[in-house]
């Protein structure tokens, strides 16, 4: 069982293509895989869960949703153990409930987006591959979705295929060309890898340029995300995988950040399963979740 847990953890750490919500679900896979081997004693099982959630929480610092989701699941599991459920059953039940909650979140957010923007027509612009944003786009039924290609990871093209398979007309353009094509759009809609305590959005690189263009052209810029994306961290870590320009001449270096930071003043609204928030309000909710995460990580360090 430990080999399965370690394998999933390694997959999460190495993945550079899946979105934050998908990786958060993989974090739940870790807890589910560990459940059968937990000690029958709730106190000992609680310790193992705290250690495990601390490992999950530190896997990908730039994608805090993985840790937030794991923390919420463990808090729920510990509550069930306190009610008398055996540890293995408590974790299995908690993971199932968190999966259900995460699945229902996108439905609620899509409905909120329809209330915000109406149901049909026009052009909607997006970037990256956010399942929350994709489901909102399907519900909004635009005449056209325009999306950046997502170079070098290609997640924009993957999102385009998903949207096209659901009957939407999709136009893929290079990320660098996307800002100029925002003019006249009904709205720009993006997902989130995380929202920091001050309301800054961390998302796939090209999000900032899209937000700047939306502000310049008077197009609403909306973030759609589940509460697990409200990480509440003070600062975001921007991942930069090695190997960009491997054959560059002497004296030349290359950088290819996977994420960028969009300041809160460029965000017109954050739509979550609990309602519409300003960027500052989203940051405040995240700050409260961050305290919960910090408490569990501190507990793990104390136990070690």
Q: What is the mean pLDDT of the chain?
A: 90
Rounded to the nearest 10 degrees, the angle between the axes of helix 131-140 and helix 20-34 is: 120
On the question of pLDDT at 113 being above 90, the answer is yes
Q: Which of 99-113, 249-263, 290-304 is the least confident region?
A: 290-304
Predicted local confidence at residue 197, as pLDDT: 93
Stretch 129-150: mean pLDDT, rounded? Answer: 95
Q: DSSP states of 94-111 as a string? A: HHHHHHHHHHHHHHHHHH
Domains annotated on the chain, with CATH: 2-104+289-303 (1.20.120.420), 106-288 (3.40.50.10470)
- Local confidence band at 241 (pLDDT 50, 70, 90 cut-offs): low
- Report which of 111, 151, 159, 117 is spatially closest to residue 134, judged by C-alpha positions: 159
Q: Which residues contact 65 (CB under 8 A, 6 or more apart)?
A: 20, 21, 23, 24, 193, 194, 226, 228, 229, 231
Average pLDDT over residues 146-173: 93
Q: Are 42 and 215 in contact (CB under 8 A)?
A: no
- Whole-angstrom distance, CA of residue 24 vs CA of residue 8: 12
Residue 253: which pLDDT band, with cuts at 50, 70 and 90?
confident
Residue 243 has pLDDT above 70, yes or no: no
Tell me, what's the pLDDT at 293?
81
Average pLDDT over residues 38-61: 90
pLDDT at 294: 83
- The pLDDT confidence band at residue 134, using thresholds 50, 70 and 90, is very high
Q: How confident is the model at residue 95 (pLDDT cuts 50, 70, 90)?
A: very high
Query: Would you say 114 and 140 are in contact if contact means Cβ atoms under 8 Å apart?
Result: yes
Q: Does position 52 have pLDDT exceeding 80, yes or no?
A: yes
* SS3 of residue 212 by DSSP: helix
**17 has pLDDT over 80:** no
pLDDT of residue 242: 67
- Residue 158: what pLDDT? 92
Query: Which residue stretches of the chain are H helix?
Result: 2-14, 20-34, 42-57, 65-82, 87-117, 131-140, 155-164, 207-217, 279-303
- The residues, ordered by sequence, that sit 6+ positions from 152 with a Cβ below 8 Å of its Cβ are 244, 256
């Amino acid at each position: 069982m430990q080999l399965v847990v370690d394998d999933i953890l390694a997959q999460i750490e190495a993945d550079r293509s899946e979105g934050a919500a998908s990786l958060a679900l993989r974090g739940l896979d870790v807890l589910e895989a560990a459940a059968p081997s937990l000690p029958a004693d709730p106190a000992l099982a609680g310790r193992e869960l705290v250690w495990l959630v601390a490992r999950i929480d530190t896997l990908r610092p730039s994608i805090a949703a993985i840790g937030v989701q794991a923390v919420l699941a463990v808090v729920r599991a510990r509550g069930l153990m306190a009610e008398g459920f055996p540890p293995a059953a408590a974790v299995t039940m908690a993971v199932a409930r968190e999966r259900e909650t995460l699945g229902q979140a996108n439905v609620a957010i899509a409905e909120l987006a329809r209330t915000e923007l109406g149901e049909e027509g026009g052009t909607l612009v997006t970037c990256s591959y956010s399942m929350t944003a994709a489901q909102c786009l399907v519900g909004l039924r635009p005449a056209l979705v325009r999306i950046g290609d997502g170079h070098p990871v290609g997640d924009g093209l993957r999102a385009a295929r998903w949207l096209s398979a659901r009957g939407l007309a999709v136009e893929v353009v290079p990320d660098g060309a996307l800002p100029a094509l925002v003019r006249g759009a009904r709205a720009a809609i993006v997902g989130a890898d995380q929202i920091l305590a001050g309301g800054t959005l961390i998302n796939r690189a090209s999000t900032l340029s899209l937000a700047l263009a939306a502000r310049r052209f008077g197009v609403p810029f909306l973030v759609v995300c589940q509460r697990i994306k409200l990480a509440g961290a003070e600062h975001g870590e921007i991942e930069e995988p090695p190997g960009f320009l491997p054959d560059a001449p002497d004296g030349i270096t290359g950088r290819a950040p996977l994420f960028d930071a969009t300041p809160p003043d460029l965000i017109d609204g954050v739509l979550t399963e609990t309602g519409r928030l300003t960027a500052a309000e989203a940051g405040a909710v995240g700050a409260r979740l961050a305290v919960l995460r910090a408490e569990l990580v501190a507990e793990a360090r104390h136990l070690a």
